[in-house]
Structure formats: structure tokens, C-alpha cells
């Protein structure tokens, strides 16, 4: 009996020591250490990082919801639906950055990894400048294009200008954190978002409600607090990239345009950006369908989706662990280990999302009550939470395997999967259920669940075929 107890204590200590190492930052070789340990060392800080990223959106909705103005909440929702295009570009570019850096690290080429990091930052700055200018000039028109009425445009035009105008911070945060993750420095990416969110959560309500010496700016204050938090995070990232003790270090010799490296990243990022655009633009399509049922439906959808993203973004953290493991192990010439790592990460993800789905199904009214007391808004938000979370059990493997394709540099396959699942299936189904069949906003929620579940089944089928293992990066 004493032997069993000793083994159990030893195993418990091993788990806790691995978790501590994951949060502090690990120096493990992810091409050699056990797959289960590698997944934990990468996934834990990535999950915490994604939780912090989701806090940006949830915090804005939470504090703005305290204003008690439906148009203010709708402003956040419409602006976020426009921002999803920016997220799509940022995530797409980050796929190329993470896959390239991971492959170079797996090959034992830190200088190549640093060159890839610099080219990624140059791309991020370029995209941020163009998108920011568009946001400053045309933000109200973009809101109208999304179906916002004049009340929402009047309330939130300045909010949208600031959020989209400062969106270069979003692009760089995604890109540089992808560099850290590809190199296996996931703990740094996590800490950056901790600091950025601490600033956002502290400064946001002060500017929204006029606490202490700060002016009362309403919904505009949320945009200012969020933007300052994100750009502070970018400055910290750049500092970390120049330190001597990181897995990846940028020196003066790397600070130049390298067309060959940039073309390699863009060859992956091009279809990855389109892949994410398909997903995020499909969400814009759903918002457009829901907007036909009024501001309460849009506000309810906004709250429901923000809460769901709070649950899904940690799962994207686990998926990002698969990107690093697949990329580094393919670079080290270990394709079977890369495949095993993807399946293991998918299993962990399914456990997590299955438990979260049960919580949402049972406690949806309680969760929504923290964001709004408007009965019409709350009803739509509750339906959104329950219907979409019913498919959580399928999302786990689908998210990880899509990320594994990307980590291997095979961005074409998940792009085609997204195109079929989210546009050929989800959007037409949402319109038919919402209008001809009379399900209203719930029809869009049902279609969303069906689309992402279909993505899972297609990903599993194609991943098993194994063509992704031969992709060159």
C-alpha cells in the first residue's frame, strides 16, 4: 500500500512541477520530451494567453453593458464584427510566422528563425498602417455597411474609429506572439497579454465611467483603454525579442528586408489569411442575418458570442500547441511524432470543451445576467449560448487538427474545409432557418453549431490520410 501511495505522490509532484515549469517558461526540447509533457508545457501558457486575449472583448462588453444603453452594446458588437476581418488577417499572417519559426527551430537554425520574426514584424506594421488609415477615415460607413442604424452610428462612431484605427496593435500582438509560440517561448506570449489586459481592465472602466481624475467618455473610453493596453503589449514583445536568454533573439544584422524569407511566410500566410477570412466573414454574414431582427437580437448575439469565445479561445491555445509541436517535429524529421502530438492535443481539447459545454447548457441564464438585465437581449444571449455550446464536443478535435495542418504549412486543406463548412453550408442554412422556417436568430445559432461540427468531421477524415506530412516550408 505504501508503494502505491509513493507512486501517486510522485506522479502528483511531477504534474505540479510540469505546470509550474509551463507558467515560468520551459527550456525543454519539444522534439524529444514526452508528447504528453510537451503538450502541457506549451498548452498551459497558450491557454492562459488565449484567456487573456478573450478578456479584451469580454471586458469591453461587460463594462459597456453597465451603461445600460442597448446601442452602446450593439456598437461593440458591430465594431467587433468588422474587427474580425483584422483578426483574420492577423491570424493568417501569424500562421505563416509560427509555422516558419517552428520549422527553423526544429532544424536547429535560430538565425533563420530570427530572420523570419523580423519579416513578420515588417508585414504586421505594413498591414496595421493601411487598416488603421481605413478605420480612421471610414469607420461610420463600415458600421452602416454591417446593418447598424443611425443611433448605433451616432453612439459608436468614435469607438469604431479608435478601435480600427489602432488595430495595428492587434496585428502585431498576434504576429509576435506567434513567433514566440513557434519558438516554444509560450510563457512570454502569456505574460505579455497579462500585462496588456491588466492595463485594459484598469484603465477601461476609469475612462468609461469617469472614475477619479479620468473624464467620462462612455463607450469611447473602452476603445481607448483597449488600444493603450494592446500597444503597451507590443512594446514589451519587442523588448523580449532582443534579450539574450530567449529561444529566439533579434540582432541588428536581422533588421532588414529579406524578400526570400518574406515570400516563404506569405506563401503559407496567403491561404491561411483567406482561411481565417472565410471563418470571420461568415460570422459577419451571421450578424447581418441577425440584424434583421433588431438591436436586441444583435446585442444578445454579441454577449453570447463573446462568452463563447471566452471558452473557445483557451481551446485555440491548445490548438496553438499543436502548431508548434507539428512544425518543430517535422523540422526535426519526426512526422509520426508530429501526428501523435496532434491527436493528443485534440483529446485534451475535447475533454475541456465537453465540460464547458455542459456548464453553458445548465448555467446560461446565470452567465448572461452578469452582462445585461434587458429581457429581450438576455433571451437571445441565452439561446445563443445553449445552441452553440451543444456542439462543443465536436469542436475540440476540429480546432486542433485545423491548427495541425497549418503548423505543417498545409494551409490549403483547412481553407477548403472552412469554405465548404462555413459558406456552402452554414450561411445558407442560417438564412433558411432564420427567415423561411421562422426560427429567427436561433436559426443562425443552429447553423453556426452545424457548420463547426461539420468542420470537425471533415478535418478528422482528411488528417488521417497524412498528405500534410510531406509539406515543405
Distance (Å, whole) CA 228 – CA 87:
18
Provide mean pLDDT across the span 307-320: 80
Q: Determine the distance from the C-alpha atom of residue 151 to the mean position of all C-alpha atoms in its chain, rounded to a whole number.
A: 30
377 neighbors 383 (Cβ within 8 angstroms): no
Q: Where are the domains of the chain?
A: 30-470
Provide mean pLDDT across the span 238-254: 88
End-to-end CA separation in angstroms for the chain: 53
pLDDT digits (tens, 9 = 90+) for 363-386: 999 999 988 889 999 999 999 999
DSSP result, 355-413: HHHHHHHHHHHHHHHTT---HHHHHHHHHHHHHHHTTHHHHHHHHHHHHHHHHTT--HH
Phi first, then psi: give them for residue 163, nearest 5 degrees. -60, -50
> CB under 8 Å to 158, separation ≥6 — which residues?
220, 223
pLDDT of residue 56: 67
Q: List, in sequence order, the alpha helices (H) in 150-258.
A: 150-165, 168-183, 186-209, 219-241
pLDDT of residue 272: 85
DSSP result, 246-285: SSS---GGG-S--HHHHHHHHHHHHHHHHHHHHHHHHHHH
- In percent, the amount of the chain with pLDDT more than 90 equals 51
CB atoms within 10 A of CB 104: 26
Tell which residue, 408, 306, 394, 386, has the closest CA to residue 61.
Answer: 306
C-alpha cell at 211: 472614475
Distances in whole angstroms, Cα of residue 64 to Cα of each of 60, 159, 207, 212, 227: 6, 11, 11, 18, 16
C-alpha cell at 372: 445585461
Instruction: State yes or no: pLDDT of 149 exceeds 90.
Output: no
Q: Greater confidence, 117 or 284? A: 117
Distances in whole angstroms, Cα of residue 71 to Cα of each of 67, 68, 76, 217, 297: 10, 9, 9, 15, 12
Distance (Å, whole) CA 349 – CA 46:
13
pLDDT of residue 57: 64
pLDDT digits (tens, 9 = 90+) for 80-103: 778 877 887 888 889 899 999 999
Q: Greater confidence, 291 or 316? A: 291
pLDDT of residue 322: 92
Provide mean pLDDT across the span 389-416: 91
pLDDT of residue 427: 95
- In percent, the amount of the chain with pLDDT more than 70 equals 96
Instruction: State yes or no: pLDDT of 7 exceeds 70.
Output: no
pLDDT of residue 126: 93
- The residue count for the chain: 473
Q: Give the confidence band of 4 by pLDDT, cuts at 50, 70, 90.
A: very low
> CB under 8 Å to 352, separation ≥6 — which residues?
314, 315, 318, 396
pLDDT of residue 1: 41
Q: Which of 5-14, 265-274, 393-402 has the lowest mean pLDDT?
A: 5-14
Instruction: State yes or no: pLDDT of 456 exceeds 50.
Output: yes
Q: Greater confidence, 155 or 302? A: 302
pTM over 0.75: yes
Instruction: State yes or no: pLDDT of 40 exceeds 70.
Output: yes
pLDDT of residue 16: 83
Distance (Å, whole) CA 156 – CA 219:
7
Provide mean pLDDT across the span 271-297: 86
- The C-alpha angle with vertex 19 and arms to 17 and 235, in degrees rounded to 5, equals 125
Q: Which of 30-44, 71-85, 192-206, 381-395 has the lowest mean pLDDT?
A: 71-85
Instruction: State yes or no: pLDDT of 353 exceeds 70.
Output: yes
Instruction: State yes or no: pLDDT of 314 exceeds 80.
Output: no
Instruction: State yes or no: pLDDT of 237 exceeds 90.
Output: yes
Q: Greater confidence, 54 or 147? A: 147
Q: Determine the distance from the C-alpha atom of residue 152 to the mean position of all C-alpha atoms in its chain, rounded to a whole number.
A: 26
389 neighbors 308 (Cβ within 8 angstroms): yes
The enclosing H or E element of 148 equals none
45 neighbors 190 (Cβ within 8 angstroms): yes
Instruction: State yes or no: pLDDT of 2 exceeds 70.
Output: no
Q: Give the confidence band of 6 by pLDDT, cuts at 50, 70, 90.
A: very low
449 neighbors 387 (Cβ within 8 angstroms): yes
Tell which residue, 71, 168, 185, 85, has the closest CA to residue 127.
Answer: 168
Instruction: State yes or no: pLDDT of 8 exceeds 70.
Output: no
Instruction: State yes or no: pLDDT of 468 exceeds 70.
Output: yes
- The C-alpha angle with vertex 259 and arms to 254 and 261, in degrees rounded to 5, equals 65
Amino acid at each position: 500500500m505504501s508503494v502505491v501511495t509513493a507512486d501517486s505522490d510522485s506522479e502528483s509532484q511531477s504534474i505540479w512541477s510540469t505546470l509550474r515549469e509551463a507558467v515560468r517558461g520551459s527550456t525543454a526540447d519539444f522534439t524529444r520530451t514526452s508528447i504528453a509533457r510537451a503538450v502541457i508545457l506549451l498548452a498551459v501558457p497558450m491557454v492562459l494567453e488565449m484567456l487573456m486575449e478573450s478578456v479584451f472583448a469580454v471586458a469591453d462588453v461587460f463594462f459597456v453593458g453597465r451603461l445600460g444603453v442597448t446601442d452602446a452594446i450593439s456598437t461593440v458588437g458591430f465594431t467587433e464584427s468588422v474587427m474580425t476581418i483584422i483578426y483574420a488577417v492577423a491570424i493568417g499572417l501569424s500562421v505563416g510566422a509560427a509555422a516558419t519559426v517552428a520549422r527553423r527551430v526544429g532544424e536547429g537554425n535560430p538565425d533563420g528563425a530570427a530572420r523570419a520574426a523580423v519579416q513578420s514584424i515588417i508585414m504586421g506594421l505594413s498591414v496595421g498602417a493601411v487598416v488603421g488609415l481605413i478605420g480612421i477615415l471610414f469607420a461610420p460607413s463600415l458600421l452602416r455597411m454591417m446593418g447598424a442604424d443611425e443611433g448605433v452610428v451616432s453612439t459608436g462612431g468614435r469607438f469604431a474609429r479608435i478601435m480600427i484605427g489602432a488595430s495595428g496593435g492587434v496585428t502585431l500582438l498576434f504576429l509576435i506572439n506567434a513567433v514566440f509560440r513557434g519558438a516554444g517561448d509560450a510563457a512570454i506570449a502569456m505574460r505579455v497579454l497579462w500585462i496588456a489586459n491588466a492595463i485594459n481592465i484598469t484603465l477601461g472602466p476609469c475612462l468609461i465611467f469617469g472614475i477619479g481624475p479620468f473624464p467620462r467618455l462612455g463607450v469611447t473610453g473602452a476603445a481607448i483603454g483597449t488600444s493603450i493596453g494592446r500597444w503597451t503589449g507590443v512594446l514589451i514583445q519587442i523588448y523580449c525579442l532582443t534579450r539574450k536568454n530567449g529561444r529566439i533573439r533579434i540582432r541588428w544584422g536581422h533588421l532588414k528586408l529579406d524578400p526570400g524569407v518574406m515570400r516563404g511566410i506569405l506563401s503559407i500566410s496567403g491561404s491561411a489569411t483567406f482561411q481565417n477570412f472565410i471563418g470571420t466573414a461568415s460570422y459577419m454574414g451571421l450578424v447581418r442575418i441577425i440584424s434583421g431582427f433588431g438591436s436586441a437580437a444583435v446585442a444578445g448575439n454579441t454577449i453570447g458570442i463573446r462568452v463563447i469565445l471566452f471558452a473557445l479561445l483557451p481551446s485555440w491555445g491548445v490548438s496553438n500547441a499543436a502548431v508548434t509541436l507539428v512544425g518543430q517535429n517535422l523540422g526535426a524529421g519526426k512526422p509520426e511524432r508530429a501526428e501523435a502530438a496532434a491527436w493528443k492535443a485534440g483529446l485534451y481539447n475535447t475533454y475541456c470543451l465537453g465540460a464547458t459545454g455542459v456548464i453553458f447548457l445548465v448555467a446560461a441564464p446565470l452567465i448572461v445576467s452578469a452582462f445585461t438585465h434587458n429581457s429581450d437581449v438576455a433571451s437571445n444571449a441565452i439561446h445563443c449560448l445553449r445552441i452553440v455550446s451543444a456542439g462543443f464536443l465536436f469542436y475540440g478535435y476540429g480546432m486542433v487538427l485545423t491548427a495541425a495542418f497549418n503548423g505543417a504549412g498545409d494551409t490549403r486543406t483547412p481553407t477548403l474545409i472552412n469554405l465548404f463548412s462555413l459558406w456552402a453550408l452554414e450561411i445558407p442554412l442560417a438564412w433558411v432557418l432564420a427567415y423561411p422556417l421562422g426560427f429567427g436568430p436561433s436559426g443562425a445559432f443552429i447553423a453556426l453549431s452545424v457548420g463547426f461540427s461539420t468542420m470537425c468531421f471533415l478535418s478528422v477524415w482528411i488528417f488521417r490520410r497524412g498528405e500534410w506530412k510531406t509539406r515543405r516550408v
